[in-house]
Structure 1
């Protein structure tokens, strides 16, 4: 009996033999990394004092808009893009 410990080479280890699983897994990982990278670049290049507007989807699949003005600290949320535009116009009306 030997107390020798041996490790398998990584190419001998397979998580799942189904090639469709591997393709989907790689695609999902790539999309997640790409999305993370884009978010990071946007944050680094964004002017911290610039008005921010973005679209979100809630847990029920409903799309809505959010806006934030760092200069005033005010924010607004609506299901309508037109409402967001009106809020911005009122915010900057003299």
Structure 2
């Protein structure tokens, strides 16, 4: 394992810091992963969202929301939701 030494001077004290490339690589990988998760979240938050839900009476229904336009639609029919989506993107 190769170490890299850095000297930092702060007022009268001198601090010597050892940083191993192995640890640096670990932190770079972690930062890359965090950055990718942020990008994925931002992209996903702009995608059309369609969910099947159940009301308090046990009835199934569909809910769709387009964050780009701010429009939403609910229906008990899957085909109605599909028709709304098709019309939205024409």
Q: Which has the higher strand share?
A: 2
Calculate the aligned-residue CA RMSD, in Å: 1.4
1:44-55 aligned within 5 A: 45=41, 47-55=44-52
Of 59, 84, 87 in structure 2, the residue corresponding to residue 87 of structure 1 is 84
Cα distance in 2 for partners of 1:51, 1:57 equals 20
Under a length normalisation based on structure 2, what TM-score does the superposition of the two structures give? 0.53
Number of residue pairs aligned between Structure 1 and Structure 2: 50
2:9 matched to which residue of 1?
A: none
- Structure with more of its chain in helix, by fraction: 1
State which of 31, 36, 61 in structure 2 corresponds to 1:64.
Answer: 61
CA distance in 2, matches of 1:56, 1:70: 19
Q: Which residue does 1:18 correspond to in 2?
A: none
Structure 2: gaps of 5 or more residues: 1-39
Structure 1 length as normaliser, TM-score? 0.50
Q: In the alignment, what sits opposite 1:23?
A: none
How far apart, in 2, do the equivalents of 1:52 and 1:71 lie?
11
Deviations, residues 3-39 of structure 1 (Å, cap 9, x unaligned):
xxxxxxxxxxxxxxxxxxxxxxxxxxxxxxxxxxxxx
